[in-house]
Amino acid sequence: MPGPRKSCERCRLRKAKCVWPENSTTSCTRCQQDDEPCQLPPRHAHSSSRREANASVTNSSVLMSVLKESRAATVDNATGGGLASATFDQRLRRLEDGILRLADASSIPANRTDHGSGIDEATRPGRMASRGIEMPGLDPPHVEAHRIYSLKANRSKYGGSHAGSRTLSTFGLSPVPDVQPVATHPVAIDTSHLPTGKPLPRCYLPATDEGVSLLTEFLHDFNSKIPLLSPMIIVNHVKDCYSGAADKLPESWVLTYITFGIAHRMRATSMFGSSEDSAMADFYMNKCLWKLADLLLGEPTLQLVQCLLGVAILLQTSDRSQRAASFASIAMRMVQDLAYNDESSAADEDRDQCRTKRYTFWIAFFLDTDLAFAKMRPSSQRLADIRTPLPNTHDQDWWGLASSSDTGGDWSINVFSLHASLALIQAEMLEEVFSVKARQRTSSQTFSAYRAVVSKLAAWRRSNVLPSLDATELSQSTYRSDMVHLVVLEAMYFRTLFHLHASHTLGNFTTSIDVLSTEALHSLSLTGLPACVEDAQRFLALVGLIPDSVTPLTWITTRATLAALFTVLSFGVRSLATEGGLLISSADASSYMAILSALESAAEQSNDVGLARSTEHCRRVYMQGGIS
């Protein structure tokens, strides 16, 4: 008699007794009756290494067998045979076998990375591949595909972006059709008994044509005004990520995520923007934050500095905007390590590389200085150590788009050079007026330094055409993306002006006093800030062009908006008390109430107690004046 045999694969799956005839060594009794192939388990079934090596192959073969049986059954049904003509027992056994095989195949998570969605990753509209360790908050938010493509179609139809007239072939990328998802039925599997090891990491890229669209919008709407990345360099990074050549280059992935994240931020501020754009931008930002942990341990490089600056920009336009200062400060320190602040040390470099480093330095400088000014702390770069020329106002070498607007008017400005020159005034203000060294001077010397900074700020204001254009004219003659840059620039200017005059009115040029605290606002409401009223009204008119909901632009302009709103409201209340009339129109009052509601929503969303208290103080001033 033959020796004892193990159960075949089919009987084992059905939990049935496997009986072998004495004269047969190839098939058991049940498999012979059902005319099914009989397979014995491998000899080394208890070897974990062999089982892991063959897990995916076995799983694929079982799934293919089930699919073949299902396909054959479909054909037989169509021809009047097969399951339709089989006996009840045969149909029941076939159905039971198919269910058991499918359940057994689904219980092996080797080929399942979609968390039970029933759709394989290769068939998603976009690419989802395993790359790094998955962390909470890194899963992409649910975005319906038709919302993405309808948004892109609307943009090209209405011309709301620079990217509408660009062809995709400009950047060497061509859209390819995506594989459509196959409709399948998910099987609920209890995985509580499985070992909890490291989860499989994932990396998300949108569909190719959507990625090209995001890249184009980033280059036109953001990078042409703030030259963070060289166009051809970032195009190569994106192509490497899509082709798989950047698997071991984390800088390429981070820069690609930054590109897509900023593009979604710019979309969120447009008339076609939605909460899905903000959610996708936050997703890319979280992916960058996770990958930066390892990059920060490396040596300072140009790409690492650009990664830090891109993350700072994404943070600055999110509800975690107060955390952006740390990344900008680290980037500024690395720029100093690379000696970008001293262009004389790079005399042997070519012109393009030297210009790229110069632009990177000035972006790091004005980001770090502006965020340090918001915190009233010294900036990371001293003015005396800067030997890099300012960006040329008429520089057309970057990408040929130095103007902020070239439609609907005969005026143009260079947003980048204005940011850099205004940051120099902020840095001088921190060093000469609000530093410890400045407080050791006499009051007359401090006042002279204050007047000098005010004079330079006024000269900066006269150096461009923005003051001569009202909000309506700007909105009619510029692209929506250009308006975002102009509002950010105006917010930077007004916040600097307000802080100077508020500190002088309070009589205390120290960094320990927050001029937007409720105590400071209460003291300022007694005297008012007449020197800031006109600029405050103008800035609020620009803010009124932004949608009432909280957008990425809300976070970057929160303090300036709050300061301008308080200035105008307190001025209106004082005019009501002194002149007997309210100098605020009903249309402006309605706009101010909408801005106030947006600030309250932002304070609640970011859990900012200080902002909530200051906004509540502005609401009391609003109600005190009976503004309606």
The residue extents of the domains of the chain are: 9-110, 461-628
- At 291 the pLDDT is 87
Number of Cβ within 10 Å of residue 60's Cβ equals 13
Q: What is the DSSP string of 228-290?
A: -S-HHHHHHHHHHHHHTTTTT-HHHHHHHHHHHHHHHHHHHTSTT--HHHHHHHHHHHHHHHH
Minimal CA–CA distance to 312: which of 339, 331, 334? 331
- Please report, for residues 261, 314, 537, 603, the alpha-carbon distance to residue 168 in angstroms, rounded to integers and kept in the order given: 19, 25, 42, 40
Share of the chain above pLDDT 90, in %: 27
Task: Please give the Cα distance from 312 to 438 (Å, whole number).
Answer: 30
Q: Is the dihedral of CA 172, 310, 251, 270 positive or negative?
A: negative
∠ CA(456), CA(536), CA(507), 5° rounding? 60
Which tokens sit at 521?
A: 């606002």
Cβ–Cβ < 8 Å for 543, 473: no
3-class secondary structure, 610: helix
Q: What is the pLDDT of residues 456-478, one digit of tens each?
A: 999 999 988 888 888 888 877 77
pLDDT along the chain (628 residues), means of 10: 64 78 81 82 51 44 48 47 51 57 46 37 34 42 39 33 42 42 38 38 76 92 91 92 86 95 90 84 93 88 95 93 92 90 68 85 94 86 86 60 50 87 94 86 88 94 86 79 89 94 87 85 86 92 75 87 92 69 72 88 89 91 70
Element (H, E) at 128: strand 127-129
Q: What is the pLDDT of residues 328-378, one digit of tens each?
A: 999 999 999 888 887 766 556 677 788 888 899 999 999 999 999 888 888
∠ CA(370), CA(438), CA(321), 5° rounding? 20
Task: Please give the Cα distance from 206 to 214 (Å, whole number).
Answer: 9
- Please report, for residues 112, 267, 282, 306, 325, the alpha-carbon distance to residue 257 in angstroms, rounded to integers and kept in the order given: 25, 15, 10, 12, 20
**pTM for this structure?**
0.68
Minimal CA–CA distance to 532: which of 581, 487, 570? 570
- Please report, for residues 58, 96, 451, 463, the alpha-carbon distance to residue 186 in angstroms, rounded to integers and kept in the order given: 20, 17, 71, 64
- At 377 the pLDDT is 84
Task: Please give the Cα distance from 53 to 55 (Å, whole number).
Answer: 6
Which tokens sit at 39?
A: 């397979």
- At 101 the pLDDT is 56
Longest dimension (CA), the chain: 116
- Indicate left, alpha or beta for 116 from its phi (over 0: left) and psi (-120 to 50: alpha): left
DSSP H stretches of helix in 463-545: 471-477, 480-506, 518-527, 533-543
What are the b/e assignments for 548-561, b being 16+ CB within 10 Å?
ebbbbbbbbbbbbb
